[in-house]
Structure 1
Amino acid sequence: MSEKPRIAITMGDGAGVGPEIIMRSLADQSLYESCAPFVVGDAKILKRANEVVKTNLTVRSIQSVEEAAFEYGTVDCIDLDLLPADLPFGEISAVAGDGSFRFLEKAIALANNGEIEGICTAPLNKEALHKGGHIFPGHTEILAELTGTKDFAMMLSSPTLRVIHVTTHVGLLDAVKLINPERTYKVIKLADETLKRAGIKAPKIAVCGINPHAGENGLFGYGEEEEKIVPAVEKAQEEGIDVVGPLPADTLFFRANRGDFDIVVAMYHDQGHGPIKVLGLEAGVNITVGLPIIRTSVDHGTAFDIAGKGIASEQSLIEAMRQAIDLAPKRG
């Protein structure tokens, strides 16, 4: 058995670009030099994707981690065999949505059993997931549910900017209701702990406001910053965490991107996702923090509009794999 960290790549929605970017990523031999990768998914769909992207790889169906060879040139796939061979590209379907859940469920079970050191997820489609009978907002919430994790957060990472979210997959009005001092403090704490584990000894953390100009002393909004954010920042500061805020989001992301801060705490989905994605979809990586297992992901969707065309970029998945390797516990 390899002493390198074993990373399970979940195939995501088989009708999207996930299988294609997986095959392209595993054509990068350097990944095999630093980890032991394999796929949890459907072998026949990977074979079809391989024909689309035209690599020289072969796909091998296996049923357990012990069967994996982790050898460059052969993609080992724990084959759940859930999808039809003629699954249409780029279409929402219940069977593909159920499959994306089952692939992740299997990988989480492997992690919970100590058989792997990390999970890297290809994208799923939320509508298909729901049609398949799994009513979750996305990967993050499934991971939390199946690992019994209560305090978790979504962190997005790019080469020049990191963002962690207080709320994610809820509407804006609901997000404002959900933000409270306890949750904001927990996310600040998760940010500090995560970056310290990653080797940053004293992370500099900045917290976004909710309203324009962070409320500007009550000029905008109804005192949300004073009620929901300030107590959390003060509590974290009292514990020695290097955190400031709330600060206006319209200038904070510029400052963080130039290096003033190591991470930004965003209050809601689009506040945090927008700046990362402006920097480039290929550069962003999604990391779920607070889990007992390592999980990274591409920071893009299933891209149904280009699925099956062989043009999807694998760069975000390669970067997600590298992040998983860096964060995974070492073996040997």
Structure 2
Amino acid sequence: MSAPAILALTAGEPAGIGPELCLQLAEEGREAGIVVIASKALLAARAQLLGREVTLHDWQPGQTPVTAPGHLSVFEVGGCASSDAGVLDPANSAYVLDTLRTAAEGCLRGDFDGMVTAPVHKGVINDAGMAFSGHTEFLQELCGVERVVMMLATEALRVALVTTHLPLKEVAAAITPERLGQVTRILNADLKAFFGIEHPRILVAGLNPHAGEGGHLGREEIEIIEPTLEQLRSEGIHLTGPLPADTLFTPHWLDNADAVLAMYHDQGLPVLKYQGFGRAVNITLGLPIVRTSVDHGTALDLAGSGRADAGSLQTAIRVGAHMARCRKAANQETRS
């Protein structure tokens, strides 16, 4: 039996619910080895606020993380300026980015089998004068890859995006044959490598209502999407579409698919979050490392209340561990 995966867990925005979600993990035993990337002082302060008794253990690469109830392994990152629950502080922004950088670089070195991220607050990071559009783009730059793909998943549905955090008026221009081709190839390859799906079946949404209605409601399907999908099919990728997004998310189509490829953020994610909010996971594909995250934000109004739900974090850990195992198995098969 192979050793459990070791996952780095970044605690996210100090003022949000991330630190207490990490502490909740200590209440029960864990199948995966979890190392929280955070300030121990921050975690200790939040534990005291919530009345939780958690023993924090210093962790260094090569050690086995503790998994016993009431205990948590921590890789110390300093520089957290304040730890007040619910109160944003731009002075914490460099610390937050340092936790992400520490986890990702540890994955690249092989110290961790993957990383899981608690939510950050993009606005306060940018208020501190640090350009930050999200975990996905930050990790893309840090890992030096040309293209990454955001995919959210529940137990029953996976939705990947061609475009992510763009104003709606910029979406159509961003859907080029090159981008669509890159995203689809990454999605197909990573469904194989990280999820063990030998022949992925992907549904592709059209951009326009009714998938363009034969050109009467837009010509992107005719001029860009359909020709690109034909090229990708010739490479052996199993694609169905472009399909109207308002009927794609029905059992008739989903029962025979492994993933949906939506053209933009609010085309695919509202459906997925309605179907499984609080139990979904955000996955970054196209990286040389495993990265999963929660499907929710910092929830400043809940921070310090003890009412935060760790369901999405537990799902992110479970999926991250599964992806790490599939990747290891695929690498061993390649070497043999």
Which AA in structure 1 matches 2:137? E
- Establish whether residue 20 from structure 1 lines up as the match of residue 20 from structure 2: yes
* Among 281, 287, 294, the residue aligned to 1:285: 281
CA distance in 1 between counterparts of 2:215 and 2:319 reads 40
Deviates more, 1:238-247 or 1:2-11: 2-11
Give the partner amino acid of 1:37: I
Q: 1:206 aligns with which of 203, 208, 223?
A: 203
CA shift for structure 1 position 294: 0.5
1:79 and 2:76 are equivalent in the alignment: yes
**Unaligned regions of 5+ residues in structure 1, if any?**
none
Residue 115 (str. 1) matches residue 111 (str. 2): yes
Kept after mapping to 1: 8 A contact 2:11/2:38: yes
Contact kept, 8 Å, 2:34 with 2:65, in 1: the verdict is no
Runs of 4+ aligned structure 1 residues displaced above 6 Å come to none
1:105 aligns with 2:101: yes
For the residues of structure 1 that align with 2:48 and 2:273, how far apart are their CA atoms? 30
2:121 to 117, 122, 125: 125
Match of residue 263, structure 1, among 259, 266, 269 = 259
2:144 partner amino acid: G
Task: Indicate yes or no: 2:155 matched with 1:159.
Answer: yes
1:1-332 aligned at under 5 Å gives the runs: 3-29=3-29, 31=30, 33=31, 35-62=32-59, 64-66=60-62, 69-72=65-68, 73-84=70-81, 86-197=82-193, 198-221=195-218, 223-255=219-251, 258-328=254-324, 329-330=327-328
What TM-score do the two structures reach when normalised by structure 2? 0.91
* Partner-residue secondary structure (3-state), 1:107: helix
* Residue correspondences, number: 325
Distance 1:192 1:51, change over 3 A: same
For 1:257 and 1:81, the matched residues in 2 are separated by: 49
Q: Give the stretch that moved more between structures: 274-283 or 209-218.
A: 274-283
Report sequence identity in percent.
38
Letter in 2 for 1:219: H
String of CA shifts for 1:168-203, please: whole Å, max 9, x gaps. 011111122111111112222122112222122221
Amino acid of the structure 2 residue aligned with 1:80: V
Question: What is the Cα deviation at residue 53 of structure 1?
Answer: 4.5
**What SS is found at the alignment partner of 1:27?**
coil
Asked if structure 1 preserves the Cα contact closer than 8 Å seen for 2:35 and 2:65, the reply is: no
What is the SS of the residue equivalent to 1:83? Answer: coil
Say whether the 8 Å CA contact 1:206–1:245 is kept in structure 2: yes
* 1:246-299 residue CA offsets vs partner (Å, 9 max, x unmatched): 111111122478523211101111112111111132111001001000000001
Q: 1:20 to 1:219 in 2, by over 3 A?
A: same
In 2, Cα distance between equivalents of 1:213 and 1:186:
24
Contact preservation (8 Å) 1:213, 1:247: yes
Q: Output one character per residue of 1:8-29: Cα deviation in whole Å (capped at 9) or x when no partner.
A: 0011101101011111123231
Q: Distance in 1 between matches of 2:206 and 2:28?
A: 41
Inter-partner Cα distance in structure 2 for 1:45 and 1:17: 12
Which secondary structure does the structure 1 equivalent of 2:84 belong to? coil
Q: Is the 8 A contact 1:119 1:294 kept in 2?
A: yes
Q: 1:308, 1:257 → 2: CA distance?
A: 43
Distance in 1 (CA, whole Å) between partners of 2:155 and 2:255 is 11
Contact 2:203–2:241 (CA<8 Å) still a contact in 1?
yes
Equivalent AA in structure 2 for residue 23 of structure 1: L
Counterpart-to-counterpart distance in 1, 2:56 and 2:187? 38
Note the C-alpha offset of 1:68.
Answer: 5.7
- One-letter amino acid of the counterpart of residue 126, structure 2: H
CA contact (8 A) 1:25 1:317 kept: no
The CA deviation string for residues 208-236 of structure 1, in whole angstroms up to 9 with x for no partner, is 11111111101212x11122211221111
Distance 1:99 1:133 in 2: 14
Q: CA 1:93/1:65 → structure 2, altered by over 3 Å: closer, same or farther?
A: same
Secondary structure of the structure 2 residue equivalent to 1:15: coil
Structure 1 residue 56: Cα displacement: 4.0
For the residue of structure 1 that corresponds to 2:237, the secondary structure is coil
1:230 is matched by which residue type in structure 2? Answer: E
